[in-house]
């Protein structure tokens, strides 16, 4: 099955075409094409993702990315659409400035692609941003007569590990998803059967990294530099100088909270005043030691709770080498397998949405132009 997938839940506009086949224990995926535009530089000045700007950019980027996606594969032709279809598409896209005209022009001048299904992220995420992807998916569905399935973004992150060849995940599995927008521990009984065991009660872990970064004068997204500074001191064999709290380390549940440590770092930096570079390194190092201890402990507790046979990790924060190594060690100590997506698939992308769309197609049917609503808080287990 060939799947066209669309992701616009945050600040990445992404499209992909994948080929997928097989069932639960014999899944095979191949990426045929993918196109992505990251808006990260535009959001920098806001210190985070600004929803209405993200929405506008998605609408602007989508037609260009569609062209890139099919570049060299879709022949030019005349493909005049019936007036009633055009009318419906226009209604669907009337809130996204310029999108209708650009999409119609492209569709009417190119042949229909060899695609069996469209998968689109419909939550969780920023609703104004999600709507752009959803309405575009419905418009393409109408114009090309291809059925659509709405996909949960978190299932996408879980499915991101399936793109490596010959992956055969043993269940029950735990998935730890850590990024700028999510921190979740999910039980996976089998593909499609998920249960959220714990999640952050306030900030996501990536968000905490970014806020700490800001306190020591590093611009958004500061996670990578905070971890770079921390690893420098770790390599030198130094002890962390500051004692920051390990929020909810001993709570009986599997939830996380990062706002306490953020406040504690804030007070410390205010107390320190003008910081030297080495003091900033120490703040970063002490912060990272604290959060990684929490991540490790909660992951271990969740493995114990369900008797997990494997761990699937996803989300942009796993670019962090120390976190990867720490989680690998947890899995080694438990004698279980760890699955990590390759770097490009750990951050938001459409390939993982296509893979999750395929998993979903094994349990539900895609239809032409379905009513889909953006759900900013869509839980993967509901």
How far is the C-alpha of 280 from the C-alpha of 284, rounded, in Å?
A: 6
Could you say which residues in the range 334-363 bind Zn ion, by CB under 5 A? 348
210 counts as binding ligand KG4 under rule CB under 6 A = yes
281 counts as binding Zn ion under rule CB under 5 A = no
Contacting residue, 147, 224, 245, 370, with ligand KG4 by CB under 6 A: 224
Least distance to ligand KG4, CB of residue 103, Å: 26
Parallel, antiparallel or unpaired: strands 310-314 and 337-339: parallel
Q: How far is CA 252 from CA 18, 197, 256, 294, 298, in A?
A: 41, 12, 11, 13, 10
How far is the C-alpha of 192 from the C-alpha of 209, rounded, in Å?
A: 31
125 counts as binding ligand KG4 under rule CB under 6 A = no
Q: Which uninterrupted H or E stretch holds 2?
A: strand 2-7
Phi-psi region of 265 (alpha: psi -120 to 50; beta: other; left: phi over 0): alpha
- Residue spans of alpha helices (H) in 216-276: 223-235, 259-272
Only one of the segments 72-80, 106-114, 223-231, 335-343 lies at the binding site for ligand KG4 (rule: CB under 6 A); that segment is 223-231
* Residue 123 touches which member of Zn ion, ligand KG4, none, C-beta under 5-8 Å by kind: none
- Residue spans of alpha helices (H) in the chain: 40-43, 51-70, 83-92, 99-108, 127-144, 153-159, 205-215, 223-235, 259-272, 277-306, 321-334, 343-346, 351-361
Only one of the segments 132-140, 273-281, 298-306, 313-321 lies at the binding site for ligand KG4 (rule: CB under 6 A); that segment is 313-321
96 counts as binding Zn ion under rule CB under 5 A = no
Least distance to ligand KG4, CB of residue 141, Å: 26
Q: Which uninterrupted H or E stretch holds 31?
A: strand 28-38
Residue (155 or 348) nearer to Zn ion, CB: 348
How far is the C-alpha of 127 from the C-alpha of 58, rounded, in Å?
A: 12
* Residue 150 touches which member of ligand KG4, Zn ion, none, C-beta under 5-8 Å by kind: none
Least distance to ligand KG4, CB of residue 48, Å: 9
5 counts as binding ligand KG4 under rule CB under 6 A = no
Could you say which residues in the range 132-191 bind ligand KG4, by CB under 6 A? 179-181
289 counts as binding Zn ion under rule CB under 5 A = no
> What's the burial of 344, exposed, middle or buried (CB within 10 Å: 0-12/13-18/19+)?
middle
376 counts as binding ligand KG4 under rule CB under 6 A = no
Residue (184 or 207) nearer to ligand KG4, CB: 207
Could you say which residues in the range 342-371 bind ligand KG4, by CB under 6 A? 347-348
* Residue 223 touches which member of ligand KG4, Zn ion, none, C-beta under 5-8 Å by kind: ligand KG4
209 counts as binding ligand KG4 under rule CB under 6 A = yes
317 counts as binding ligand KG4 under rule CB under 6 A = yes
Could you say which residues in the range 156-185 bind Zn ion, by CB under 5 A? 179
227 counts as binding ligand KG4 under rule CB under 6 A = yes
* Residue 260 touches which member of ligand KG4, Zn ion, none, C-beta under 5-8 Å by kind: none
Parallel, antiparallel or unpaired: strands 193-199 and 183-190: antiparallel
How far is the C-alpha of 111 from the C-alpha of 302, rounded, in Å?
A: 50
Residue (143 or 158) nearer to ligand KG4, CB: 158
How far is the C-alpha of 235 from the C-alpha of 109, rounded, in Å?
A: 58
> What distance lies between CA 75 and its chain's CA centroid?
32
**Binding interface with ligand KG4 (CB under 6 A):** 10, 179-181, 206-207, 209-210, 221, 223-224, 227, 315-317, 319-320, 347-348
What residue ranges bind Zn ion (CB under 5 A)?
179, 348
């Amino acid at each position: 099955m060939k799947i066209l997938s669309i992701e616009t839940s945050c600040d990445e506009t992404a499209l992909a075409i994948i080929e997928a086949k097989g069932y639960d224990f014999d899944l095979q995926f191949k990426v045929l094409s993918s196109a992505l535009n990251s808006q990260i530089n535009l959001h920098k000045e806001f210190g985070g993702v600004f929803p209405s700007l993200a929405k506008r950019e998605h609408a602007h980027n989508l037609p260009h990315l569609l062209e890139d996606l099919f570049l060299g594969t879709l022949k030019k032709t005349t493909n005049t659409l019936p007036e009633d279809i055009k009318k419906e598409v226009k209604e669907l896209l009337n809130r996204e400035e310029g999108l209708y005209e650009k999409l119609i022009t492209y569709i009417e001048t190119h042949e229909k692609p060899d695609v069996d299904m469209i998968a689109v992220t419909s939550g969780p995420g920023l609703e104004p941003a999600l709507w752009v992807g959803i309405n575009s998916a419905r418009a393409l569905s109408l114009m090309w007569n291809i059925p659509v399935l709405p996909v949960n973004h978190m299932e996408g992150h879980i499915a991101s590990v399936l793109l490596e060849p010959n992956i055969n995940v043993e269940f029950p599995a735990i998935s730890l998803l850590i990024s700028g927008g999510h921190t979740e521990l999910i039980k996976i009984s089998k593909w499609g059967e998920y249960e959220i065991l714990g999640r952050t009660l306030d900030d996501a872990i990536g968000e905490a990294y970014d806020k700490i970064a800001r306190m020591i004068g590093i611009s958004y997204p500061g996670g990578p530099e905070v971890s770079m500074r921390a690893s420098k001191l770790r390599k030198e064999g130094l002890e962390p100088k500051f004692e920051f709290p390990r929020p909810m380390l001993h709570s009986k549940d599997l939830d996380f909270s990062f706002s306490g440590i953020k406040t504690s770092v804030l007070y410390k930096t205010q107390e320190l005043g003008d910081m030297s570079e080495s003091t900033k390194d120490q703040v970063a190092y002490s912060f990272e030691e604290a959060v990684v201890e929490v991540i490790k402990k909660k992951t271990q507790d969740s493995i114990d709770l369900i008797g997990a046979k494997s761990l699937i990790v996803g989300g942009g924060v796993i670019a962090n080498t120390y976190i990867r190594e720490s989680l690998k060690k947890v899995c080694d100590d438990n004698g279980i397998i760890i699955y990590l997506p390759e770097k490009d698939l750990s951050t938001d992308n459409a390939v993982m949405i296509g893979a999750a769309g395929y998993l979903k197609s094994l349990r539900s049917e895609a239809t032409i132009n379905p009513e889909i609503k953006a759900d900013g808080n869509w839980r993967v287990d509901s």
